[in-house]
Structure 1
Amino acid sequence: MTTTALVTGASGFLGGHVVAELRAHGYRVIAAGRNAAALPTGGPTLVGDLDALARTDQPADLVIHCAALSTPWGAWRDFARTNITGTERVLTYARRNGVRRIVHVSSPSIYAAPRHATNITENEVDAGNRLNNYIRSKVAAEALLHRARREPGTPEIVILRPRGIIGPGDSSLVPRLLAVEEKIGIPLFEGGRALIDLTSVQNVATALRLAAETPGIDGEAINITNGDPRPFRNLIDALFARLGRTPRYRHLPTKPLYAVAGLLEAVYASLPGRPEPPLTRYTLSTIAYSQTLDISKARALLGYTPQVSLDESLASYAR
């Protein structure tokens, strides 16, 4: 019997790859998202936001919840509405339509802190992390799902935390780097030696499929990366080499700039429209400090093995 999976955020970067991965493995996929023009073709679609999804009668066996507001800066109400209330809406849909498992895409941003940390395990979460509103909302969404597991009628829930997703179609991570390089040059802290953990988008899609299929993992939270952390400067040099360009760097001191970033956040938060500061504490934390994830749980529980290398992802993005 064919398994039906509904993918939220299917019009986005990750969601589109997840739809393709599931269809390649025989799933009937319902692609759900707000942007009708960007939804994958070749199967049923649901056009609308997560509020509309909660009112929908469309049976499915699985939900893979990719939809999220993911940005280092923004108003709390926007993150809360999309990432917390939106997750509640997915639960409502799942209970209404007989879904047996939700695979929720969370974020290892919840581990972020201005310090070096390597081989971070899934239980090293600071529930009080307030580095930015995105982190607050993802921590809250995970807590909501764990509470929901105690309620009757809740499907199984599995949480994945993929780190730094890159590859063809990336509209966030690499484009932000390229924009910064063009404006002021790429900030380089301590020579760019900080180890950065990234994940090829195809590997994330595979991990999500495995999380949908693997029995006996209800309630688990699982880190996902390529298992290939590299120094920040090495990654930037490799990317720009494939683009046929030479990156411009700005060597900067870490601690003074962290204080400046905090001041910039306070100033920009008070401006009309709350524009994004040129530097945030979160962004500095992710490139100035080594932060790598332990993926032994993914290997043991899911049988996860990265299939697409970082070099392949950099090359495919450059193409």
Structure 2
Amino acid sequence: MATVLVTGGSGFVGGRLISRLVGDGHEVRALARSEAAAATVEALGALAVRGDVQDVAALRAAAAGSEIAFHAAARTSRGGDRAAFWADNVEGTANVVRAAGEAGVRRLVHVGTEAALMDGQPLVRVDETAPLRPDSRANYSASKAAAERLVLDAEGIETVVLRPRFVWGAGDTTLLPELTAMIRSGRFAWIGGGRHLTDTTHVDNAVEGLLAAAEKGRPGQAYFVTDGSPVVFRDFLTELLATHGVTPPRRSLPLRPALAAAAAGEAIWRRLGPAGAPPLDYMSVWLSGLECTIDISKATRELGYRPIKTREEGLAELTSWRAGQAS
């Protein structure tokens, strides 16, 4: 069994990845930037190594002796200026690549995202030939695109990018809590009615893809993974929220006014520099109002990827997990 480094191990995908790696018998080291993060990864069975993605020396020490590294750490918040996203997602990724290479890590698997292709256009049955958009108007999209580009262009270490779309499942600490808070505060509306198609990726399917990429991915290549087939965005989100006893309102905001509001809000926030994020931002509109369907045939063909958990199984698991949290 291998020694493996994971960054972002206290997060949703990183945490589930650690659990799977430990369960498979690997020795796992996890970068932890705080005491709370260290406690989280140690509870999962990893050895916590204090440091963050800005600290090359700490990264190098954490990576020493590791055969594989998984880079799951990223800034994903709606708020924050471009410099903050670039520091965490681009410079931080460059530091991980450098440190892993210097420590002799054989292969680095980077957790990418379909958002790296977004700049306001629907993504319809896209595959890995679609261009990255480091010029995107959204800070998250632009920074993740730039990070992926430098990963794929890295020399002296094998690199592979795994792109799951819309990761969900038990243990999610971001998506469902944010949606629930928006609905309960009266700030939620369907963008364009929410009747468009979307692909999704259960967290266990994302982890399955990461492990397949580590074993079989071609160096310098990116791979999309999903739950296997698209679903109507509104239908899936309604079922997802129902696992937490939440019913979304019927209120809808047409797509064009939503896009205009996002553009105005982003411009005001950039000019005035207030804390947090505008009421409506580019990423929120694009992710919830535009079709995003993915062709995963490359991962199926080259990685042997198959989803290991169906949506029905994931939703049932999420309902049980929520019941356990509430008891």
Decide which of 146, 159, 162 is 2:161's aligned counterpart.
159
TM-score, normalised by the number of residues in structure 1: 0.92
CA contact (8 A) 1:170 1:317 kept: no
How far apart are the structure 1 equivalents of 2:188 and 2:313? 23
Per-residue CA deviations over 1:46-85 (Å, capped at 9, x if unaligned) read: 1211214334262110101111111233211111111111
- Greater Cα offset, 23-32 or 2-11: 23-32
Match of 2:47 among 33, 44, 47: 44
Kindly state the Cα deviation for residue 309 of structure 1 after the two structures are TM-superposed. Answer: 1.7
* Pairing 1:108–2:110 present: no
Aligned to 2:61: 56
**What is the TM-score normalised by the length of structure 2?**
0.89
1:244-283 superposed matches below 5 A: 244-283=245-284
| Residues 1:179 and 1:10: Cα distance change in structure 2 (over 3 Å) | same
Aligned residue pairs total 313
Instruction: State the distance in 1 between where 2:24 and 2:294 align.
Output: 28
SS of corresponding position for 1:277:
coil
Structure 2 CA distance for aligned equivalents of residues 129 and 291 of structure 1:
19
Shift of 1:128: 4.6
Q: Does 1:19 align with 2:24?
A: no
Question: What residue identity is the alignment partner of 1:45?
Answer: A
Shift of 1:29: 1.3
CA distance in structure 2 between the partners assigned to 1:92 and 1:67 by the alignment: 15
Paired with 2:149 and 2:246, the residues of 1 have a C-alpha distance of: 44
Distance 1:122 1:46, change over 3 A: same
List aligned pairs for 1:146-295, cutoff 5 A: 146-149=152-155, 154-214=156-216, 217-295=218-296
Check conservation: 1:162, 1:204, Cα contact below 8 A.
yes
**Alignment deviations for residues 60-119 of structure 1 (CA, whole Å, 9 cap, x no partner):** 101011111112332111111111111121122212221110001111101224343321
Equivalent position SS for 1:148: coil
Which of 133, 141, 146 lines up with 1:140 in the alignment? 146
Contact 1:11 1:40 in 2 (8 A): no
Instruction: Name the residue aligned to 2:126.
Output: 120
Aligned counterpart in structure 2 of residue 84 of structure 1, from 73, 82, 90? 90
Say if 2:117 and 2:145, in contact at 8 Å, map to a contact too.
Answer: no
Moved more, 242-251 or 190-199: 242-251
- Equivalents in 1 of 2:130, 2:15: separation in Å? 30
Q: Report what 1:65 is aligned to.
A: 71
Pick which of 77-86 and 34-43 moved more.
Answer: 34-43
Of structures 1 and 2, the one with the larger relative CO (CA 8 A, separation 6+) is: 1
Output the CA distance in 2 between the equivalents of 1:259 and 1:104.
33
Distance 1:44 1:272, change over 3 A: same
Letter in 2 for 1:37: A
Q: Report deviation, 1:162.
A: 1.0
Structure 2, gaps ≥5 residues long: 323-327
Structure 2 CA distance, aligned partners of 1:189 and 1:146?
Answer: 34
1:107-141 deviation line (CA, Å, top 9, x unaligned)? 11012243433211111124354231111111111
Higher deviation after alignment, 275-284 or 120-129: 120-129
* Residue type of the alignment partner of 2:284: T
CA distance in structure 2 between the partners assigned to 1:5 and 1:131 by the alignment = 35
Conserved in 1, the CA contact under 8 Å of 2:111 and 2:162?
A: yes
The percent identity for this pair of structures is 36
Secondary structure at the counterpart of residue 248 of structure 1: coil
Give the letter aligned to residue 285 of structure 2: L
- Supply the RMSD in Å over aligned alpha carbons: 1.9
Distance 1:245 1:88 in 2: 40
* Cα offsets for 1:185-231 (capped at 9, x unmatched): 5322343211121111111111111111116x111100111123211
Q: CA deviation at 1:272?
A: 4.4
